[in-house]
Amino acid sequence: MELPEQQQQEEEEPDWLCPEPGGPGSHAAPARGSSAALGAQSGHGKTVPSGSTAHRVIVHIDLDCFYAQVEMIHNSELRDRPLGVQQKYLVVTCNYEARKLGIQKLMSVRDAKEKCPELVLVNGEDLTQYREMSYKVTELLEEFSPLVERLGFDENFVDITELVEKRLAQLQRDGCSKMSVSGHVYNNQTVNLHDVMHIRLVIGSQIAAEMREAMYNRLGLTGCAGVASNKLLSKLVSGTFKPNQQTVLLPESCQDLVGSLDHIRKVPGIGYKTTKRLELLGLSSVRDLQTFSPVILEKELGVSIAQHIQKLSYGEDDSPVASSGPPQSLSDEDSFKKCSSEVEVKKKMEELLANLLDRISKDGRKPHTIRLTIRKFSSTNKWFSRESRQCPIPSHVVQKFGTGSCDVVAPLVGILMKLFRKMIKVEMPFHLTLLSVCFSNLKALPSLAKGSIGFYLTRSSPPSSAGKKMEGVPQDQVNSCSFVQDGRIRNIRTRESSLETKSCTEEPEISLCPLHLLPAGIDQEVFSQLPEDIKEEIISDKTGERIHTKNVLSQPLPFSKGALPFFAQEQMHSTPNSRRADHSISSLSTGSS
């Protein structure tokens, strides 16, 4: 039987590459009755800028068995029964009733039914309801802070530093004398409310509890939370107690937490390929990496990577929580045992496009770049054999988006087949096991009044890329041999994997007027489609004199270069990165979450 292509993690996206934190071997214990006095000396008169990375308060929210929860919310009769969510031949996730009976994520359906005959299976191929619920969670968390960064469907980072500072100031004004921690304290450490960082984290634990309570009361969802001073640590500590619990990590226990990881591959941001290179150097534990010669490490990996991963091994992470915003790409893919004819390829492309065009229609933006990814069968290199090509979508095709899928499917399939033939010699036998189609470079429609020439010529600015997390672009899970993209079973890639991505050079060149001759905001591609007399009129309106456009429309439109379509970053921080893909994937291995 074919091995699973993805490690379950409830979505996409993801470029934050983390293993399951804590785990059964963790030596953390619940804090009992954690409370202490908050006196006048609580801050020792210190004032710390809220933007200081050393004094941030970050919450990592990880929803419990997300797909299964959504199914139980939609059908309450499933709540107390062992439930599994099936995609193809695998149980991609299951509820805790099923886990008690021995069902595990990514278990084959056959094995799961043998182990638990009473297991109820629901089809999870359609991700619509999961995607919609996921965005509701993110919107709810944004009520607490504008800095919310999605990590696939079921995980979010929230920077609550500013809210913590406000509450701390209010407590001091009110003369509050006592505070208590919500949830557990990692390692059962005693809270010192004469330590300003302890105070902030305690307040953070209370806010995290409010977030989880709001999720349950308003959406019916439960989840775990980790509260710490950076993203790496909050991610690691959030899974210490499961399900539906939370843990705060105080600074003094950071090294205990990082040291509890049983292998360097468990350090977020250290990928599969890098792990193999480190193992060749004799490194396997976090302690090995911490004490290894920086000079040798820099020689082997390069200065920036060497310094970065050694910082990670100490739990240091200064990457900000970047507000994700709308997806910067939308993709869908399908895996199969064999696809070996152009007819089959076209059929699968049409199926993927049908879903994507529906999502594009609901999104409201129009894509300007299309990418095709394939995976050829390989008995020796199964997990690292993806190849991609991308090219701009011609303007006349872009204009058809939103007018009816029938009008746009045929030209898109034609473009995809050109890209396909760049990678596959169709006259020779071929064996594919995956196809993926991605729309990117999404741009909003013009906001000018319809009817004005500016309405048709103005190009809207692309959405903010602050978070740059691409939902819909396969995200790399570097800590295992598989991961989940857009909630579906995918294979993994790493930053060091050789991924060939090229622009399509067969598209016709578009001659454009030099930018300095066009009024501000005019879209060159649309301008090039206008009749010559209208072009000349537009230019003359700016320059005050008539210019024959045939003499100036000679600058070719530079096609976009084939940027890597996968977020194979081995840095644990998500900026800069893509963001946001409805990538339809997180690709984090969340273990039992």
Active site residues: 155
Other Cβ atoms closer than 10 A to 252: 15
- DSSP classification of residue 388: E
| Environment class of 449 (CB within 10 Å of its CB; exposed 0-12, middle 13-18, buried 19+) | exposed
End-to-end CA distance of the chain: give it in Å, rounded: 26
CB 68 within 8 A of CB 593: no
Specify whether the CB–CB gap between 431 and 340 falls below 8 A: yes
Q: Which two tokens stand for residue 547?
A: 């210019």
Contact 54, 1 (CB under 8 A): no
Whether a cis peptide bond, with omega within 30° of 0, leads into 243 is yes
Report the distance separating Cα 579 and Cα 330, nearest Å: 11
Contacts of 311 (CB under 8 A, 6+ apart): 317
Amino acid found at 49: P
85-113 burial, b at 16+ Cβ within 10 Å, e below that, comes to bbbbebbbbbbbbbbeeebbbbbebeebb
DSSP string spanning 207-261?
HHHHHHHHHHHHH---EEEEEESSHHHHHHHHTSS-SS-EEE--GGGHHHHHHT-
